[in-house]
């Protein structure tokens, strides 16, 4: 058995393998409610051999949506719509989590294929945005700096959304602290110019993320795994860096996180990223710190052999992939076949298992 298709125990769960589906926004919800598209989209990955599927960035508050078409978990109608999707994944033998998110200054934007881009005007269904400081992402509307009451509302929003996620049956909770969204905006000195307890030192800039982690862990109890996704570098001078990410990861684990999902970038438009196969793997290794901080790797990981090598070299404990699952929803079955592993296939697909 390869490392990639060996089980991974996390609290009360035993995930059937370590090849997982990254959260990917579909921009197809209505008033935060997932639709039939989400049901088909997510269930197919379970049939395709994924060990864990993380549903897309799901807003904890209405103003936390990236776009008007984002999914949410700020009300019970959204919770109830997620439940059959979760059940469909379970029926196909996989586990499923949800990424709880607040988009901060990158909220209220048009979806990628909309005829316009940038911020959605309030007159067309958009809303005012918030951030640690009143500094706009390039080309977007200027946000309002969160005050103490606003920060408290964000923490409560994450906790309430976590409770609804568990009621819907999700197995894993992930906090989105990456890609230039609100929690990442607090982490980076490029977007956080506060002079209170939430700005300045790394400890202060990490405060909100850690408060959210503690609040979500309190809701999750002792049995539910909790992940935190971070951008381990801003890919820009003066920004959040890998050494800081490793420290924040250590703090998050001490406050109840079980795994740090390591990505990068997204904070500023002037980022410069050298994109190549496995380009983010060294960041996962840096955060993992020799295995002391459980981590996952992501970023142009497209084959079973490549993913196996990442685990074998000790850079990560699990592999997230995104685009490859979109290209091939049965990536897990293919990767296992490439590695010579015998894993469970859906009975309906057995005729294709060997030849």
**Active site residue ranges:** 181
**Helix (H) or strand (E) run with residue 249 in it:** helix 242-254
Task: Supply the DSSP symbol for 60.
Answer: S
The DSSP code for 227 is E
As to burial, measured by CB atoms within 10 angstroms (0-12 exposed, 13-18 middle, 19+ buried), residue 348 is: exposed
Place of tokens 């999902």: 261
Q: Which of 261, 256, 246, 242 is nearest to 316 (CA)?
A: 261
Token pair belonging to 332: 């897990």
Q: How many other CB atoms are found less than 10 A from the CB of residue 274?
A: 6
- DSSP helix/strand/coil, 8: strand
Cβ–Cβ < 8 Å for 19, 331? yes
| CA distance linking residue 104 with residue 155, whole number of Å | 13
């Amino acid at each position: 058995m390869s490392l990639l298709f060996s089980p991974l125990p996390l609290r009360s769960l035993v995930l059937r393998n370590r090849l997982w589906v990254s959260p990917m926004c579909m921009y197809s919800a209505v008033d935060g409610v997932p639709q039939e598209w989400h049901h088909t989209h997510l269930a197919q990955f379970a049939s395709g051999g994924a060990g864990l599927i993380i549903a897309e960035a799901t807003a904890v508050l209405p103003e936390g949506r990236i776009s008007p078409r984002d999914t949410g978990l700020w009300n019970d109608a959204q919770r109830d719509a997620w439940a059959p999707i979760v059940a469909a994944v379970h029926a196909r033998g996989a586990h499923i989590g949800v990424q709880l998110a607040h988009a901060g200054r990158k909220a209220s934007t048009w979806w990628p294929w909309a005829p316009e881009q940038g911020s959605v005007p309030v007159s067309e269904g958009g809303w005012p945005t918030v951030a640690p400081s009143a500094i706009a992402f390039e080309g977007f509307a200027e946000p309002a700096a969160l005050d103490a009451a606003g920060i408290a509302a964000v923490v409560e929003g994450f906790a309430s959304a976590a409770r609804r996620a568990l009621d819907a049956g999700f197995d894993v909770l992930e906090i989105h602290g990456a890609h230039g969204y609100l929690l990442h905006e607090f982490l980076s000195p490029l977007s956080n110019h506060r002079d209170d307890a939430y700005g300045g030192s790394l400890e202060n800039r990490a405060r909100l993320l850690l408060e959210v982690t503690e609040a979500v862990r309190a809701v999750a109890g002792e049995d539910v795994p909790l992940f935190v996704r971070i951008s381990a570098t801003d890919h820009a001078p003066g920004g959040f860096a890998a050494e800081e990410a490793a420290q924040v990861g250590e703090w998050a684990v001490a406050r109840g996180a079980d795994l740090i999902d390591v990505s990068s970038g997204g904070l500023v438009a002037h980022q410069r990223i050298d994109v190549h196969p496995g380009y983010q793997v060294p960041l996962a290794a840096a955060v993992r710190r020799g295995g002391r901080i459980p981590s996952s790797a992501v970023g142009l990981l497209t084959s079973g052999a490549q993913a196996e090598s990442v685990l074998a070299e000790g850079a990560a404990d699990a592999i997230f992939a995104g685009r490859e699952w979109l290209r091939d929803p049965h990536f897990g079955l293919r990767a296992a076949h490439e590695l010579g592993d015998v894993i469970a296939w859906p009975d309906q697909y057995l005729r294709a298992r060997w030849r």
